[in-house]
Amino acid sequence: MGRAQTVASGAERIDMVIVGAGFGGMYATYKFREMGLNIVSIEEGGDVGGVWYWNRYPGARCDLLSVDYSYGFSEEVQQEWTWSEQFAAQPEILAYANFVADRLKLRPHYRFNTRVDSAKWDDARQLWVVRTNDGKVLEATYCVMSTGPLSKPTDPDIPGLNNFNGLTLRAARWPHEEPDLKGKRIGVLGTGSSGMQIIQTLGRTDCELFVFQRTPSFTLPMRNRKVTDRDVAELKANYASIRAACRLNPTGGARPVSTRPFFSIPADHRQELMEQAWQHGGHTFLGIFSDLMVNQAANDQVADFVRDRIHDTVIDKAVAEKLKPRGYPIFARRPCLDTGYYETYNRPNVHLVDCLEDPIVEITEKGIRTQSGEHELDVLILATGYDALTGALLAFEITGKDGVALKDKWEGGPRSLFGIMMAGFPNMFMTTGPNGPAALANIFTISENDVDFIANVIGHMQKTGQGAVEASARAEDAWMDQIQTLASRSLMLKAKTWWTGSNVKGKPQGMSMFTGGFHKYREACEAAVANGYRDLSFEPAHETEAVVG
């Protein structure tokens, strides 16, 4: 008898379901199609692009260099696509996603405007039963969850959110038809990366802008510029070496990372290095010293340097003081890049409401009421972030072996091996999942690494007649111990941020990312392959008769 191809009544039998049309899901769709698997890819949105399909807010732009925010697996894509700026804006990134989907013929494999309602493991048949919101049932040997670390938006926990009679807009689900904001009184909640981009963009228009700030974020000047023809020629001639260097870099990207501890350099030289990096722009500033996330004294001095730049830029010194982040280490929250963010507060139409000094009481029909009074608004913009890393996977029902639900396995926080596999959930894989490098490294480099790792595991299963694979409990425990040990050495745990889950009420707290650098993460994944997959538990393919009905 051959391997069972049992199919439940009305179900569609395939090899693999891939969830997500962001850049991880798109590469997975390409890779596993090229392996000859019969795949179906599912996406809640109406087209490819992931977060860039949804995030169309004013000023939306990537804060990674375009060379980093692009695929390295396809030489054709690299040579045929040309970026126009060092840091690409949302329309260009979405155009890139569409170009890749067209060039690699990915769309025929996608079912857009479709959402997974549940995924349940059938141990007897060694497959996943996946149900979608349109009533369809897919039965697949493998599931790849490329749902992304930032895909489930959160609303602020403020009384009266639904009371507002004006226009409410969400940065993470911006309407495809641009709303008319001219001359409006606009309130912005949230001063993370998205909020800053919205504020600095709308602040230059004729609107009256009210920024409701609870926790100010550190931000660095982007210094964006157009890419020249010479830049393009050099880049395309050297892609191979650039990608190789990225795979060896702790960031997974092209940004240089120093090995110099802060206090190993004389004070005047340190100041000079910081000034140069500030003028150069981008994330250069992040890479000039090696110990900023482990040495509090070094971190304090770098934070003071940035606070001094805020003081120098903002004319109203009382406003400048309110904009200065305090109480947590610099770079323990996601470091933002800006184009004139602090200068925005020098404009007469931009008003900062310090919600630590004047807390929000409620959202009313007319606007936002703080302790000092009501701010009447026409438009309310929510830039309040995401239920990161785990939110998208816990948004629907996933049930593994022995009827164990993922929400129960992750009740005390997410557990996984490499952020790719989990004990108790056979043949289910994640890309850029919790307990990988996720937001701490280049998501393209991580995605390619993760998909290639999954492909190697599946190739091994096909060669050896395996029907199911999962992370061993022992290996998962060891990896989680490493995650916690590394995090305990870092200053990142000293900030309340989506990195640690503190932005979502009731969410387990802790660092759910590998903080040892992409290069060490890649080495761990490669070692797992080289040692014959001893960190994984396999089960031979069942030998039963095929039954349909």
The whole-number pLDDT of residue 6 equals 55
**pLDDT reported for residue 497:** 79
Question: Taking the alpha carbons of 540, 543, 544, 546 in that order, is the dihedral positive or negative?
Answer: positive
What's residue 463's pLDDT? 97
Q: Would you state the pLDDT for residue 373?
A: 96
Question: Which residue carries 């850029």 as its tokens?
Answer: 432
> What tens digit of pLDDT does each residue of 393-443 get?
999 999 999 999 999 999 999 999 999 999 999 999 999 999 999 989 999
**Amino acid 3: pLDDT:** 41
- Cα(436)–Cα(457) distance, integer angstroms: 17
What was the pLDDT predicted at 545?
Answer: 41
Reported as a single tens digit per residue, the pLDDT across 125-154 is: 999 999 999 999 999 999 999 999 887 888
The predicted pLDDT at position 1 comes to 27
**Distance (Å, whole) CA 424 – CA 468:** 11
Helices (H) and strands (E) in the chain, counts: 15, 20
Phi, psi torsion values for 289, nearest 5 degrees:
-130, 150
Percent of the chain with pLDDT over 90: 87
User: What does residue 290 show for φ and ψ, rounded to 5 degrees?
Assistant: -90, -15
Q: What are the tokens at 320? A: 């400048």
- Under a CB-based contact definition with an 8 Å cutoff, are residues 113 and 45 in contact? yes
Residue 153 DSSP class: B
Residues of the chain with confidence (pLDDT) below 70: 1-9, 544-549
Q: What is the pTM of this model?
A: 0.95
| Nearest partner of 184 among 98, 97, 58, 333, judged by Cα | 58
Instruction: Tell me the two tokens of residue 519.
Output: 């290069």
At 386 the pLDDT is 85
* d(C-alpha 437, C-alpha 519), whole Å: 10
